[in-house]
Amino acid sequence: MTKKKTSETGSKTNLATKPETKPETKPRTSAAPLGPSGFDMQLKVYEHAIRLFSQRKLGEARERFLEAAKGPAAQISDKARSYAQICDRRTTSVEVDFKTAEDHFNVGVERLNARDVEQAKHHFGRALSIQPDADHILYTMALCCGLAGDGNGACENLKRAIALEPRNRILARQDPEFSALALQLPGLRALLVAES
């Protein structure tokens, strides 16, 4: 019997030497949901503004972008301010008062460079109605007509520009755009190679 007691005691001793470990308890979180964060609200307003912008409702979109710009996320605020400025530019109409042929000519050149050939042609036409013998306008109108596929208009305007200022023939020969058009339009090619 003594041996039995010893073994019982031994097993009790082994249990006593092990440190007691309690399972870790995590802090309890309340079951009530948290409200949306400032970031979430800002993002939601920004996304709504983008939808309005894509629907071309620029006035409403601008207001939502300005609201989103006040939120905590700097990156969203920056984008929202940029979009608000775009809305401002698109909704603000600028009245341009064209008083001279040069005003129309300059806008025509800008439109031609942007390859908005129809608008360019319109402004060159208006410039020529104010100043019909301006060789530089006729020269540029000839190029515009050629780019628009109007071979007759290109030839007639260049012919008039050369008649007013013979040097325009040399300029047109050296102009790569006229050279490219001359390959497509035989009448224009004939004007460029003719001797003055």
Q: What is the CATH number of the domain that holds 122?
A: 1.25.40.10
Q: Does position 1 have pLDDT exceeding 90, yes or no?
A: no
Based on the domain organization, do 178 and 130 belong to the same domain?
Answer: yes
Domain extent for 71: 38-91
Based on the domain organization, do 109 and 53 belong to the same domain?
Answer: no
Based on the domain organization, do 111 and 147 belong to the same domain?
Answer: yes
Question: For the segment 108-167, what is each residue's pLDDT rounded down to a tens digit?
Answer: 999 998 889 999 999 999 999 999 999 999 999 999 999 999 999 999 999 999 999 999
Based on the domain organization, do 113 and 182 belong to the same domain?
Answer: yes
Rounded to the nearest 10 degrees, the angle between the axes of helix 167-174 and helix 186-193 is: 120
Most confident range, picked from 28-32, 80-84, 163-167: 163-167
Asked if residue 86 is part of any domain, the answer here is yes
Mean pLDDT of 71-76: 90
Tokens of 36: 């949306």
Based on the domain organization, do 86 and 105 belong to the same domain?
Answer: no
Based on the domain organization, do 87 and 111 belong to the same domain?
Answer: no
Burial 118-129 (b: 16+ CB within 10 A, else e): eebbbbbebbbe
The beta strands (E) that lie in the chain are given as none
User: What does DSSP assign to residue 136?
Assistant: H
Specify the pLDDT at position 103: 92
